[in-house]
Amino acid sequence: MINPIIKDIENSDIKIRFYSKQGGVSKGQYASLNSGFGSDDLEENIIENRRLVADNIGILPENLLSVSQYHSADIVDVKEGWARKQGPKADGMVTNQANIGLGILTADCGPILFADAKNAIIGAVHSGWRGTVAGISENMIEKMLEKGAERASIKAFLGPMIAQASYEVGEDVRQQVIAHNALNADLFIKNSDEGKYLFNLPGLITRRLETTNISHIEDVAKDTYADADDYFSYRRNTHNNIKDYGRNISVITKIN
């Protein structure tokens, strides 16, 4: 049974859903709501899973859009839908169009869904540490403002992602994160292994969002790595010597 975390905006037509891996038709390591065509799951299963997600949030399956994500700060302005294999290369989408679902695929990185209910503008980004350092959240907010959003009306919701207790990184990642801001050193805890740290990705995303002075920042605080029953995790599969992995989907739409 599909049972997403629901953060719909009250008194508006904006729906925000963070889906777990439960409630789909995929089997084996992709069980069961794998929504990523980039995986080696059966295509017909992914199509059906995305249909189930679209039906749950109230849009047509062909209007559930995803981009080809590559850890950038690039955001596309969605004016109309596109065929599955023609999706642009980017890590975020923004729109003022109704009945289009902006779908972000993750398996440890951070999905962030943005809403300005007053001006009916929505956005969605895929934010790993590279995209976060590159400023994808700040870029999204600027794109929303260009479309007529108001900073004081924008809300941001952080979906399930890998938590600090589960996220070991090397000195190279630490150096790149603190190069942007030396104060970010407190987001790393020295681990027992030489040159290894536990990194607080949700903390970095939240810190970057706090500098934008938007009205609301909320973290659902779910760890994709630790919660094997509910979420796909690239890193967990890697540690278990499993080659491929399913993708969690997070979706925002406004219904007309």
52 and 132 assigned to the same domain: yes
pLDDT at 57: 98
193 and 121 assigned to the same domain: no
Residue 69 pLDDT exceeds 90: yes
* pLDDT digits 0-9 by tens, 154-197: 999 999 999 999 999 999 999 999 999 999 999 999 998 789 99
144 and 186 assigned to the same domain: no
pLDDT at 192: 80
Q: Give 124-193 as a 3 state SS string.
A: EEEECHHHHHHCHHHHHHHHHHHCCCCHHHEEEEECCECCHHHCEEEHHHHHHHHHHCHHHHHHEEECCC
Going by pLDDT thresholds of 50, 70 and 90, the confidence category of residue 108 is very high
Contacts (Cβ under 8 Å, ≥6 apart) of 48:
24, 25
pTM metric for this prediction: 0.98
State which residues form the domain around 190: 164-199
114 and 22 assigned to the same domain: yes
